[in-house]
């Protein structure tokens, strides 16, 4: 199957996707801040440059896009119908990198929480999960 947009338009779309300060990340940051927690952003001193870092608590959070990180069972994580081999390899590499990052953080004494993009639909449940993680 071919793409429904031109190659140049697809390139424009993909170039606009951000790795930092994405809409889901900003939503989680806002929620955590309203809960009264303060945090650092994108610490390059830690493996994987976590999105939110709580140094005093030795905890970090990653806000992952369901597509880019291959969220299992999520509709947003469906592979495109074109260039399937490329996308499967890319998502698999991202997932492997995420596993290595989580392992390195655990070895360093950090606890990590992954917030999936699709979890933002239920803010009440998300806030409860965040509170349990940060207080536990």
Q: Quick: pLDDT tens for 84-131.
A: 899 999 999 999 999 999 999 999 999 999 999 999 999 999 999 999
- Please state the rounded mean pLDDT for residues 8-32: 82
- Main-chain dihedrals φ then ψ at residue 15, nearest 5 degrees: -65, -20
> Which pTM value belongs to this model?
0.85
Residue-wise pLDDT for 35-77, tens only, equals 999 999 999 999 999 999 999 999 999 999 999 999 998 998 8
In order of start, what are the domains of the chain with their CATH numbers?
Answer: 7-135 (3.40.960.10)
């Amino acid at each position: 199957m071919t793409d429904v947009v031109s190659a140049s338009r697809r390139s424009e779309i993909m170039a606009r996707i951000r790795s930092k300060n994405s809409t889901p990340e900003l939503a989680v940051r806002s929620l955590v801040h309203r809960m009264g927690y303060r945090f650092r952003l994108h610490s390059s001193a830690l493996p994987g440059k976590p999105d939110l870092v709580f140094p005093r608590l030795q905890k970090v959070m990653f806000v992952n896009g369901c597509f880019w990180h291959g969220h299992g069972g999520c509709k947003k994580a469906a592979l495109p119908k074109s260039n399937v081999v490329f996308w499967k390899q890319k998502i698999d590499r991202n997932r492997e990198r995420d596993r290595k990052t989580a392992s390195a953080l655990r070895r360093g004494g950090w606890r990590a929480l992954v917030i999936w993009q699709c979890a933002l639909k239920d803010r009440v449940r998300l806030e409860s999960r965040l509170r349990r993680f940060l207080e536990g």
